[in-house]
């Protein structure tokens, strides 16, 4: 906390402005009239009451609630430095403030002290688990997040989600399925629970395990929507378009109004060189959802392959308006303009694609 000392100096010099000599000071012990002063009252004025720890803690909490985390940290750190053993709750508030400002190591230590002070401080237990997970220590986070689930099984979806991710990292897939089922409020042994697990496994780049979970989901619920879609995604990820095509076609039979199925079918047909089928599938995807750029971009690519750059341009220009920051769109636009002989516009799009792609690569670098 920055402390500002204000010093006021009063100089009383009589007669300087008019050139007169200064008036002599009266003798010690006399007032300016020459008379002896009344006896001095040596009673000191009473100092304001010292602020209590509870008051400071309450003010710091208010600062946290209003987004002033760094100011709260300053107050709380000073409180711990000047009061030895701080009052109960200070470490809890410090942990929250550290966490919100990204100081995860400090947050984890503060939450550990808060739990020592009060083992039933549920929020500190949960936040210590979340801090450990974000520090890349998921195995250490599990016991704390499990305690939260034991206390309040359905109270916090974030804790269940992170607990599920920790289980995935530890290859405890059954426990992960239980955690995700709790998060989404579905029976843990249902086909839906296995489908959720499959989705999370794909996001964790574990396609083989994701395929097994999707198959289990279909065993339990043969007509479960999105289960075949998920299997198709797995096979597409593994560059197996033939098996992916079979799964997407089965998904279409179960879920014919899902635009994403036709988008994926368009992708599979394009990879297989079946451009007419790809165009038909993408037309259906766009008919069902005009708000997604994917089918428009894919359609532009298909039309370029079919030597129709003029029509391709219409779809790609629409996609560019929806998402100007997609470098693939600009790359395809450059190809379309070049095929139409519009070299200046083609160069502009290719340059834009290079700049966007380079910027996105830089964002992926770890923070220093």
Interval 305-353: pLDDT, tens? 999 999 999 999 999 999 999 999 999 999 999 999 999 999 999 999 9
Q: Rounded distance, CA 236 to CA 230, Å?
A: 10
* Tokens at 171, concatenated: 């290859």
Q: Phi/psi at 119 (nearest 5 deg)? A: -60, -15
Q: Rounded distance, CA 196 to CA 211, Å?
A: 12
Rounded to the nearest 5 degrees, what angle is found at the Cα of 275, between the Cα atoms of 273 and 278? 110
Give the orientation angle of helix 309-322 with respect to helix 327-339, to 10 degrees: 150
Tell me the per-residue pLDDT of 131-144, one tens digit each, with 9 for 90 and over: 999 999 999 999 99
Q: Rounded distance, CA 313 to CA 303, Å?
A: 9
- Yes or no: say if 281 and 269 are a contact pair by the CB < 8 Å rule: yes
Tell me the per-residue pLDDT of 224-268, one tens digit each, with 9 for 90 and over: 999 999 999 999 999 999 999 999 999 999 999 999 999 999 999
Torsion on CA atoms 288, 291, 293, 299, rounded to nearest 10: 30
Tell me the per-residue pLDDT of 45-62, one tens digit each, with 9 for 90 and over: 433 345 677 777 788 888
Write down the pLDDT at residue 2. Answer: 38
- Alpha carbon 13 to its chain centroid, in Å, reads 65
Write down the pLDDT at residue 236. Answer: 93
Write down the pLDDT at residue 45. Answer: 44
Tell me the per-residue pLDDT of 173-200, one tens digit each, with 9 for 90 and over: 999 999 999 889 999 999 999 999 999 9
Long-range pairs, 235-240, Cβ under 8 A, ≥24: 235/211, 236/264, 236/267, 236/268, 237/202, 237/207, 238/207
Closest alpha carbon to 276 in 292, 299, 295, 257: 299
Confidence grade of residue 66 (pLDDT, cut at 50, 70, 90): confident
Does position 291 have pLDDT exceeding 80, yes or no?
A: yes
- Alpha carbon 257 to its chain centroid, in Å, reads 32
**Burial letters for 179-192: b for 16+ Cβ neighbours within 10 Å, e otherwise?**
bbbbbeebebebbb
């Amino acid at each position: 906390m920055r402390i500002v000392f204000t010093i006021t100096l009063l100089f009383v010099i009589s007669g300087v402005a008019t050139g007169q000599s200064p008036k002599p000071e009266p003798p010690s012990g006399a007032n300016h009239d020459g008379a002896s002063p009344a006896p001095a009252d040596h009673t000191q004025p009473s100092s304001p009451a010292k602020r209590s720890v509870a008051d400071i803690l309450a003010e710091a909490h208010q600062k946290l609630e209003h987004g002033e985390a760094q100011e709260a940290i300053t107050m709380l750190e000073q409180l711990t430095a000047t009061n030895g053993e701080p009052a109960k709750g200070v470490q809890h508030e410090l942990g929250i403030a550290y966490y919100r400002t990204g100081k995860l190591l400090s947050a984890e230590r503060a939450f550990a002290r808060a739990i020592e002070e009060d083992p039933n401080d549920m929020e500190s237990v949960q936040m210590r688990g979340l801090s450990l997970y974000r520090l890349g220590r998921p195995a250490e986070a599990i016991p704390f997040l499990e305690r939260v689930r034991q206390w309040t099984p359905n109270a916090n979806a974030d804790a269940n989600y992170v607990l599920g991710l920790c289980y995935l990292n530890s290859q405890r897939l059954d426990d992960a399925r239980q955690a995700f089922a709790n998060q989404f409020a579905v029976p843990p042994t249902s086909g839906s629970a296995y489908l959720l697990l499959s989705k999370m496994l794909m996001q964790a780049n574990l396609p083989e395990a994701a395929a097994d979970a999707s198959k289990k989901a279909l065993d339990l619920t043969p007509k479960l929507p999105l289960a075949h879609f998920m299997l198709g995604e797995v096979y597409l990820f593994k560059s197996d378009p033939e098996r992916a095509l079979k799964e997407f076609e089965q998904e279409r039979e179960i879920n014919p109004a899902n635009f994403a199925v036709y988008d994926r079918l368009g992708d599979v047909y394009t990879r297989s060189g079946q451009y007419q089928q790809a165009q038909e599938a993408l037309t259906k995807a766009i008919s069902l959802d005009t708000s997604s750029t994917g089918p428009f971009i894919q359609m532009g690519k298909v039309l370029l392959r079919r030597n129709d750059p003029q029509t391709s341009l219409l779809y790609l220009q629409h996609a560019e308006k929806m998402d100007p920051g997609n470098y693939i769109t600009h790359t395809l636009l450059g190809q379309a303009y070049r095929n139409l002989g519009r070299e200046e516009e083609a160069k502009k799009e290719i340059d834009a694609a290079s700049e966007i792609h380079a910027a996105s690569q830089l964002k992926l670098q770890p923070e220093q």
